[in-house]
Amino acid sequence: MSLHPDIVGRRVTLRRAAALASALVVVSAALLAGGPLYLWPLFIFPLLLGAVFFFELGSLVVAGWLGAFFVAWSTLRQPVDAGTTRQAIVGLAAFSLAGLVLGRVQRAQHQRHGTLAASSLTDRLTGLYNYGTFADYLHNEVTKADRYGRELTLIMLDLDHFKRFNDRHGHEAGNDLLKRVGATVQAVVREADMAARYGGEEFALLISGDAHDGIELAERVRHAIESTALELRGGEVAYVTASAGVATYLHGSSSESLLVEHADRALYESKRAGRNRVTVDTESEPPGHLSVTLSA
C-alpha cells in the first residue's frame, strides 16, 4: 500500500536533516581533533549538503553552526584577540555568502526540474494529468486492486455538444472552456483521486471506492460543470453540460482495458439517453444491464 505524499515528504526531510547533522558532527569532531586552522575548509562539504537539501536555509544553518563552533572552540582552546575575531567574521561572511549563492542556484535548478517533470505528466491546457500519466496510473492501481482487493472505480466524462460550441464560438473559446472545466474538475475531486484529460473534450477520473462513490463524485462534477459560467467576447455568457459513465473494477475477472470499455459504454448510454446525466455500468449485473441516474 503506497504512503501519502505528505508522509513520504516528511520522511525525506527527516533523513536529509539527519544526514546534514551527521556531516556537521563529523567535520566538527575532525576539527576538534586536528585543529581548525587548516581543517576549516572541511566545512565546505556540509555547506554543499545544506544547499542541496534545504537551499538557502540549509546554507545559513551550516554557517551558523560554524560560527557557534568557532566561538566555543576559541573559548576552550585559546584567548581570542582582535585579529582572530576579524578573521572569523570575514570567514563566516564568506561562508554565508557562498552558501546563499549555492542555495539560490540549487533552488532554481529544483524549480526548473519540477516544472519539466510536471509538464511531462500534465496536460498543458487543462492542468490535469495527461493520457500517458493516466494510463500508467490506471495500470498500477489495477495491479494493486488485484493484489490487495481494493475497490477501484473509473468515471469517463465528456462535454456535451463541444463541437457545436467550437463551431459557434471559435476554437479559442473552446480552449478557454477546457481550461475552465479542468479547473472545475480539479476543485471538486479529492487529492487522492486521479483526474486526467483523456483526450479532446473527454476526461477520466479514477478513484478508490465502489460504484456508489463513483456516482456521487460524477454527479458533483457534472453539477459543478453545469453551474460554471464562461464569459465570451462581447459580454456573452455560455454554459455547458457534461455526460458521465461509471464502471467499477472487478478483481481477477476484468482488466484495465475492459474497465475503460465499460465506463465508455456507460458514457455513451448517457449520451444516448439525452446527455447531462450519469450512467453506471454495474458489472455485477448481467451484461448489458445499465442503471441510469438522470440529471436533477
Provide the 8-state DSSP code for 205.
Answer: E
Please tell me which residue in 56, 172, 191, 201 is annotated as part of the active site: 201
pLDDT higher for 49 or 159?
159
Task: Using pLDDT thresholds of 50, 70 and 90, give the confidence band for residue 105.
Answer: confident
- pLDDT score of 32 more than 80: no
Q: How many Å apart are CA 248 and CA 213, to the nearest integer?
A: 10
Task: Using pLDDT thresholds of 50, 70 and 90, give the confidence band for residue 288.
Answer: very low
| Contacts (Cβ under 8 Å, ≥6 apart) of 161 | 240, 275
Q: Is residue 201 annotated as a catalytic residue, yes or no?
A: yes
**Which of these ranges, 33-37, 150-154, 283-287, has the smallest mean pLDDT?**
283-287
pLDDT higher for 171 or 100?
171
- CATH dotted code for 131-293: 3.30.70.270
pLDDT of residue 104: 79
- Mean pLDDT for the chain overall: 81
Neighbours of 134 (CB within 10 A): 25
Q: How many Å apart are CA 94 and CA 249, to the nearest integer?
A: 61
Q: How many Å apart are CA 170 and CA 173, to the nearest integer?
A: 6
β-strands 152-159, 242-248 pairing: antiparallel
3-state DSSP call for residue 54? helix
127: left (phi over 0), alpha (psi -120 to 50) or beta: left
Helix (H) or strand (E) holding 202: strand 202-208
- pLDDT score of 286 more than 60: no
Q: What is the pLDDT of residues 252-265, one digit of tens each?
A: 666 888 999 999 99
5-31 average pLDDT score: 78
- Distance, first Cα to last Cα, the chain: 38
Pick from 213, 181, 173: nearest CA to 197? 181
Pair 126, 201: CB distance under 8 Å: no
Q: How many Å apart are CA 175 and CA 136, to the nearest integer?
A: 26
pLDDT of residue 97: 76
Q: Which three cell numbers stand for residue 144?
A: 494493486
**Which of these ranges, 99-108, 270-279, 283-292, has the smallest mean pLDDT?**
283-292
3-state DSSP call for residue 212? helix
pLDDT higher for 242 or 288?
242
- pLDDT score of 80 more than 90: no
Pick from 79, 237, 241, 82: nearest CA to 159? 241
Q: How many Å apart are CA 71 and CA 277, to the nearest integer?
A: 72
- pLDDT score of 120 more than 60: yes
Provide the 8-state DSSP code for 193.
Answer: S
221-249 average pLDDT score: 91
Q: What is the pLDDT of residues 190-229, one digit of tens each?
A: 888 999 999 999 999 999 999 999 999 999 999 999 998 8
Pick from 198, 192, 105: nearest CA to 141? 192
Pair 67, 79: CB distance under 8 Å: no
Q: How many Å apart are CA 224 and CA 211, to the nearest integer?
A: 20
